[in-house]
Amino acid sequence: MRARGVLWLSLGLNGALAAAWFLATRRPATFNPPPTPAEVLAAATTAVKTNVIVRRQNITWEMLESEDYPVYIANLRAIGCPESTIRDIIVADVNELYADRRAKEIILPAHQWWRSDPDPAVVAAARETAEALDEERRELLTRLLGPEWDIEAKRAADAWASLAESTLSGRLLGDLSPESKKAVLGIIADSQRRYREKFEDKPVDPVEWARIRKETREQLARVLTAEQLEEYLLRYSENADTLREQMRGLDLSPEEFRKVFRLTDAIDQDIQLSDDAAASAQRRKKELEQQRDAAIESELGTDRARMYKLNQEPLFRQARAAVEQLGAEPEAVLPLYKIYQEAERETKRIQADATLTAEEREEQLHLIQLDQQRSVRKIQETFKRSERAETTPPEGTP
C-alpha cells in the first residue's frame, strides 16, 4: 500500500515537471541566469505578492554623512563623487571641526577681558595649543586624503585661517550653535561694511559712528541672550577696549571690571550720542562725565579712582609707558610724571617769554630736555640698584 502511494506521487510529480517544461519552451528566451538553490528555497517559502510597485529610493545627505571619516569618504565614492569634490568636502568639514576645538580648548588673551595687557603666559600657551591643533588637523587630512590633499594648500589654509580668526571665544560664546555664530559674524561684517561706506576717505563723524555701534548692539540682542551679549561686549566692544586702557595699572579683578563696565557702558553710549556743539548738549555731556566718575569712585574707592583719572592725562600715560619700557617698578610712574609736568610748565614759560631771542629760547629748551633725560636715568639707575640688591645673596650665605 505504501509503495503504491509512493508510485502515484512520483507519477504526479513527473507529470507536473513535464507540463512546466512544455510551458517554459513556449515563452520567449530571456537572459536571466538560472536560479541558485537559495533562490529556489526562498521562492518556495515566500508568499507571492501581486501589484507590487518598485520605487526608486532617494539618497539623502544624512545617508552619506558619517562621524567616521573613512566611512564618509567611502560613501561619497560609492555615489560617484569626484575626488576633487571629496577633498573639498572633507577639508571644509575637518577645518570646521578644528575651529570648534580651537574655540573650546584655547585660552585666548581675549578670555582675560578685564586685563589691560594680555598675560604673556596665556599668549604663549594659546600659541602652543593653536600650533598643536593645526599640526593634528594637517596629519588627519593627510591620513584621510593622502599627501596630495594639500595640492591647493593656500586655498585650504586661507579657509582655515578665516575660520580660526572669526571664532567667538568665552564660556558662553564658544558654545554658540553654528547658526548663531554665523548670524553674529554676519552682523559684525555688516557693521564693518557700513563703517567703510560712511567714512572711507572721509573724516569719521563720532556721533554717526556711535549710531552704527548702537544699531549693531540692537541686532546682536535679537540673536544673543542678555548674558551672551554682555560676554560679547566685554570682549569686543569699543567701550570695553577704552575702559581697559583707562584702567591700565589698576589690576582690576574680572568681577571689578564687569561691575565698572555695567556702571559706565550706558553712560558712555549717552556721551557718544550727545557729542554736539550746542551749549545744552555740552552741559549734558559734562553731567554725564561727572556721573561716570562718581560711579567709578563708588566701585573702586578714592585711591584707584584717582589713578583712573591720571590715566586720562597724556603726560601720565607717557610716564607710564617710559617706566614700562625701562622695566622699572610701577611706583616710579608718579615721580616721572612730576618730572614731565615740570618740564612741560618750563617749556610753556620759555615759549611765552617774549624777551628771549630765538637762540636763547632754543638753548633753554635744550637744557630742559637734558635735565629731563638726567632725571629718567636716575630713576633707571635706582631701579637697577634695587634689582641687584634683590638678586644678591646676603653675606655669609653658603
Do 283 and 336 lie in one domain? The reply is no
Q: So what's the pLDDT on residue 218?
A: 96
Evaluate whether residue 247 is within a structural domain: yes
Do 78 and 141 lie in one domain? The reply is yes
Average pLDDT taken over every residue of the chain: 76
Do 298 and 343 lie in one domain? The reply is no
Do 160 and 70 lie in one domain? The reply is yes
Do 306 and 380 lie in one domain? The reply is no
Report how many domains make up the chain. Answer: 4
Evaluate whether residue 231 is within a structural domain: no
Q: So what's the pLDDT on residue 230?
A: 94
Do 136 and 147 lie in one domain? The reply is yes
Evaluate whether residue 183 is within a structural domain: yes
Do 151 and 79 lie in one domain? The reply is yes
Evaluate whether residue 110 is within a structural domain: yes
Domain extent for 143:
61-167
Residue where one domain finishes, among candidates 312, 330, 351: 312
Local confidence band at 318 (pLDDT 50, 70, 90 cut-offs): confident
User: What is the model's pTM?
Assistant: 0.56
Which range has highest mean pLDDT (36-50, 76-90, 141-155, 179-193)? 179-193
Q: So what's the pLDDT on residue 262?
A: 95
Evaluate whether residue 256 is within a structural domain: yes
Residue of 245, 214, 265 whose CA lies nearest to 117: 245
| pLDDT one-digit tens code per residue, 168-178 | 766 778 778 88
Evaluate whether residue 3 is within a structural domain: no
Do 204 and 245 lie in one domain? The reply is no
Residue where one domain finishes, among candidates 167, 184, 210: 167
Do 184 and 155 lie in one domain? The reply is no
Q: So what's the pLDDT on residue 6?
A: 37
Evaluate whether residue 19 is within a structural domain: no
| pLDDT one-digit tens code per residue, 256-306 | 999 999 999 999 999 888 866 677 778 888 899 999 999 999 999 998 898
Do 88 and 147 lie in one domain? The reply is yes
Do 108 and 196 lie in one domain? The reply is no
Local confidence band at 53 (pLDDT 50, 70, 90 cut-offs): very low
300 against 53, higher pLDDT? 300
Q: So what's the pLDDT on residue 40?
A: 34
Residue where one domain finishes, among candidates 225, 253, 268: 225
Evaluate whether residue 30 is within a structural domain: no
Do 66 and 162 lie in one domain? The reply is yes
| pLDDT one-digit tens code per residue, 106-156 | 777 666 778 776 677 777 788 788 888 888 988 898 888 887 776 554 454
